[in-house]
A and B are shown apart, each in its own frame.
Chain A
Amino acid sequence: MSAGPYADAAGLVERSAAAYASAVPDRPGDGGYFGPASVTWRVSGDLSAPVAGLRSLLMQALHPLAMAGVDQHSAWRRDPVGRLAATSAYTATVTYGDRAGADRAAHRVRAIHEHVRGVDAVTGLPYAAGDPPLLLWVHAALVDSALAAIDLFGTPLGEAEADRYVAEMAVAATLLGVPDEMVPATVAALGRYVADTRPYLRCTPAAAESMSYLLDPPGLDEEIAELWQDIRDAAVAALPDWARDMYGYPAPATLNPLTPTRRTEIRQTLGVLDAVFLAEPGVLEARQRISARMRG
């Protein structure tokens, strides 16, 4: 384990915003793998997206091999903000880009994954980032988190829409090399998969360290740090109880139970955060490109 100090999180909003803005194409060749009418676009644009993103990292990190891959190979500790920005750029490209753009981005990621191999110090197990089971967990954690976050803090989906979302998102997993038949295509199948995977999950020291960094990132601008506390509480509240227990986090007192008032307050924080994000160069333009296509 290449334990080293973490760089601070200054520029988190700026760099994520820049990655997002440049990933949303101006003149896409086609509607991409999802398209303006997809549930995926609605979910991606939902106010709850930052909570979904943070919860998804918390879930993904519980897979010891996925965590080891990130910890041992990526620039995670040296440049956590850059690593997160790269992930947002990739997600936005796959979501909003045309198929050729999404394919290119996926190809690049798969090429990088080729070199991410090793042995996890905690479990002693070998891993390869391109292993479908690993990729599937990362995928499922994201989809599951988007559903949990939108349900608690966003504009919730109906049952049929939620199923459609899970089905739509399957292509994101196959793009990175997960065989289609492995990918859950309904909410129920996703739930079963998460339950089946749970025995393999644990909070390794790398996960604990990474996530406590993310929950309280040093070096954030003051206004972002203030807002981040609410985002963090919301993400932790949105975790399954067992995942929260693995980390040893208490349920956030302020959101336990989650009253309508507190839900509204979290949404208001998300609104302010969104306003801050919107002020970054290119973000408003990217949003307008997306809205214009959704209005079609």
Chain B
Amino acid sequence: MAAAVAGTALAAVGALGALRRTGRLGAGPAVAALGRRTRRLRVERGMAALGLAARGGARYASSAPRLFAAAGEHREQLRNDLALQTAEDVAATLGTMKGVLMKLGQMASYVNDGLTPAARRTLSRLQDSVPPMSPALAGQVVTEELGLPPEQAFATWDPEPIAAASIGQVHRAITHDGRAVAVKVQYPGIAETIEADLGNVALLRRMLKITVPSQDVDGLLAELRERVTEELDYRKEARNQQMFADYYRGHPTIVVPEIIGELSTRRVVTSELAQGARFAELTGWSQAERDLAAETIYRFVFRSLYEAHAFNGDPHPGNYLFHGGGRVTFLDFGLVKYFTDDEMRPLAAMVKHLCLDNDPQAFRRAMEEAGFLVRDAPLPTEMIVEHMAVFYDTVRVRGPIAMTGDYASAVTRRFFDFGSPLAAYVAIPRSYVILQRINLGLFALLGDLSATADWRRIAEEIWPFFQGPPSTPMGEAEAAWNSGKAGRGLPART
């Protein structure tokens, strides 16, 4: 699944995440402009960070997910020749459904097994077809949003984008107070275009039916609309990311880049530039390192869910940077779902009844309460438990368990098992749809790492109904962080 995720979704989702695919800074035009700023030292510190961040790999054109079709040097030239120069160019490239289809491609990458090959090819090719904005056009958006041209809004501005985002692109810059930052700039006019296209529900339904025949079309459609609408306003993402940054500040292994609020608006979002190894590099590291990285990701997902009642819906490989020793930077908070207490209660109850109390009847009632299962369905409880258990396999018993690609596939298959006798009685209520990404995204990711841990013991630390003692060195460090955290509890909801 990871390969397919990389194929269609990287560009779209990993806006800030894609930063890792940066080029060497040395030759960048922005560098020459340095040194004439007054706060030179701070700027130079920013430059150093920027330089580190930029090390390794080629630039946008040759390495961004949206590869241009041409090869080699020709491609670089073509990229400049074809850059989107006006809002009309943007509309011609991303209007009339193409932007929406790209988002669909990104979402559908999570439901890989449900996507037809032709659809996958089309959606992935569509990513390739979008050139970056010209430096002038990107600069114009920044000017409109921040009130100053980028060269003035920032101490240093690299006019060459370093990465693609689904509806924008990412530039490097240094703020006037010397921070190296990633600035995501949205395509002008894209919001209007996409909003109009999202209005064509009939066509979207037809497309979804064809692209993901095994999926619940209405659920996906609702998610697509919600998702895209949210993404059009970067302020939402900025708030989400800042919430996570605040929550995890000081955490021993979880890093969330800070948002620079005064440089973030509806179509521009500025955050600290992060650096680290990409997922693809991580897979070449030692198993011990991979296990630690997996543990951090696992803790992040479930601590966010159980304690912050927040779920970051993009658990795909492009959204992490790895620093060794289990330290992981989390990127891209474009899709965050906050759960109410009422929504959380049955989720926790299901886990508790199945994994802790071993009480199938109570498990079934919790499923019904959450709306996952029709009340009083004519099905034996054992069958329900048997069907659902696969989702809980890694936390039903203590002891080390290796996540494997096979497990992830089994979960996915069960998820899409519409032939089962349960199919008529089970459903995923709208508010929980996003959680399928735990099953389809997180497990696939951990499977790719062949990560081994005592997931049950880690879960026990996090489960609010258990509050187990630290089970690993990382757990110890996390407990120390947690006890020192002032006003530990739920952050403000947005």
Contact = CB atoms under 8 A, between A and B. Distances in A.
29 contacts: A221-B118, A222-B210, A223-B210, A223-B211, A226-B210, A265-B202, A268-B96, A269-B97, A271-B96, A271-B97, A272-B97, A272-B203, A274-B96, A274-B98, A275-B97, A275-B125, A276-B122, A278-B125, A278-B126, A278-B129, A279-B118, A279-B126, A284-B125, A284-B129, A285-B69, A288-B68, A292-B78, A292-B82, A295-B81
B475 interface: no
Contact of A295 (B82, B200, B203, B206): B82
Nearest to A291: B82
Contacts of B200: 264-265, 268
A292 B128 CA distance: 16
Interface string B199-215: 01011001100110000
Contacts of B196: 264
Given A226-B206, A268-B97, A275 B118 contact: no
Interface of A: 47, 221-223, 226, 264-265, 267-272, 274-276, 278-279, 284-285, 287-288, 291-292, 295
Nearest to A226: B206
A53 B125 CA distance: 24
Interface in B79-102: 81-82, 95-98, 101
Given A265-B200, A279-B121, A284-B129, 13 more contacts: A222-B210, A268-B97, A269-B203, A271-B98, A272-B97, A272-B203, A272-B207, A275-B98, A275-B122, A288-B68, A288-B69, A291-B81, A292-B78
Interface of B: 68-70, 78, 81-82, 95-98, 101, 118-119, 121-122, 124-126, 128-129, 196-197, 200, 202-203, 206-207, 210-211
Nearest to B99: A271
Contacts of A270: 96
Contacts of B70: 285, 288
Contacts of A264: 196, 200
Contacts of A274: 96, 98
- With a 10 A CB-CB cut-off, give which of A276, A279, A285, A292 has the most chain B CB atoms: A279
B119 A223 contact: yes
B451 to A, nearest CB: 35
A279 B200 CA distance: 22
Contacts of A221: 118
Contacts of A267: 96
Interface residues of A, dominant DSSP:
helix
A267 B82 CA distance: 23
A265 B207 CA distance: 13
B101 A275 contact: yes
A284 B69 contact: yes
Contacts of A47: 96
A249 to B, nearest CB: 23
B226 to A, nearest CB: 20
Contacts of B96: 47, 267-268, 270-272, 274
Contacts of B118: 221, 223, 279
Nearest to B200: A268
Query: 7 closest pairs, A vs B, by CB?
Result: A271-B96, A271-B97, A279-B125, A279-B122, A285-B69, A223-B210, A292-B81
Contacts of A279: 118, 121-122, 124-126
Contacts of B82: 288, 291-292, 295
A53 B78 CA distance: 29
Contacts of A284: 69, 125, 128-129
Contacts of A287: 129
- With a 10 A CB-CB cut-off, give which of B69, B98, B126, B196 has the most chain A CB atoms: B69
A264 B97 CA distance: 10
A2 to B, nearest CB: 35
A229 B398 CA distance: 57
A274 B97 CA distance: 10
Nearest to B82: A291
Nearest to B120: A279
Given A47-B96, A285-B70, A268 B78 contact: no
Nearest to A229: B206
Contacts of B128: 284
Nearest to B203: A268
A264 B193 CA distance: 11
Nearest to A292: B81
Contacts of A222: 210
Nearest to A45: B92
Contacts of A292: 78, 81-82
A265 B197 CA distance: 8
A288 B96 CA distance: 19
A242 to B, nearest CB: 31
Given A269-B203, A272-B203, A288 B78 contact: yes
Given A223-B119, A278-B125, A284-B125, A272 B81 contact: no
A288 B75 CA distance: 10
Contacts of B124: 279
Contacts of A276: 122
Contacts of B197: 268, 271
B221 to A, nearest CB: 15
Contacts of A223: 118-119, 207, 210-211
Contacts of B126: 275, 278-279
A265 B119 CA distance: 21
A288 B77 CA distance: 11
A294 to B, nearest CB: 10
Nearest to B81: A292
Nearest to B121: A279
B427 to A, nearest CB: 26
A271 B69 contact: no
A284 B124 CA distance: 12
A138 to B, nearest CB: 30
A192 B122 CA distance: 43
A268 B94 CA distance: 11
A222 B117 CA distance: 13
A166 to B, nearest CB: 24
Contacts of A275: 97-98, 101, 122, 125-126
Contacts of B97: 268-269, 271-272, 275
B67 to A, nearest CB: 10
Contacts of B95: 271
A268 B196 CA distance: 10
A265 B81 CA distance: 31
B202 to A, nearest CB: 8
